[in-house]
Amino acid sequence: CLGLSMQSGEILLGMINDLLDIAKMEYGSLQLQRAPIAAAELLERALRQVQGLARERRHTVSTHVAPGVLLIDGDEEKLVRVLVNLLGNAVKFTPTGGAITVRMTPQGGELLCCVQDTGEGIPPEAFDRIFEKFG
């Protein structure tokens, strides 16, 4: 129970921080705290926050971090939140017993991170709204 409470608290804190970051972005005051980060550790931190719900829904979660993807330069907390949001959506919108795959591969000096699941996907009528604030 304590572990679940801690995990839920981390998720709630992430949501609050997301809202604060949106406000900072709108006012042009968002500051990134860039530092070298181990890509595998970044993914592991994000997975820890969604693993309870994924296990509860009997999802299979697999990860593939390409060889040679060791360090990236970025804001660790914000990148973990982005991954948690992507993974959380995959967990929520994948039917029970589904599969979620996360891949990290280098691409042109950057890190490409793909989250794929066996859910229905975003309906075409929602495409125009997916990048709107709270869309």
Rounded to whole angstroms, the Cα distance separating 133 from 21 reads 12
Q: Name the nearest CA neighbour of 79 among 43, 104, 117.
A: 43
Entry pTM: 0.78
* Residue 1: partners with Cβ closer than 8 Å, 6 or more residues away: none
The per-residue pLDDT string of the chain (135 residues; one tens digit each, 9 = 90 and over) reads 787 788 778 778 877 877 777 777 777 777 888 999 998 999 999 999 899 889 999 999 999 988 877 788 999 988 998 899 899 999 999 999 999 999 999 888 888 999 999 999 888 998 888 878 766
Residue 19, φ and ψ in degrees, nearest 5: -65, -40
∠ Cα 67 40 63 (to 5°) = 75
Asked whether 83 and 111 are in contact (CB, 8 A), the reply is: no
Rounded to whole angstroms, the Cα distance separating 51 from 81 reads 14
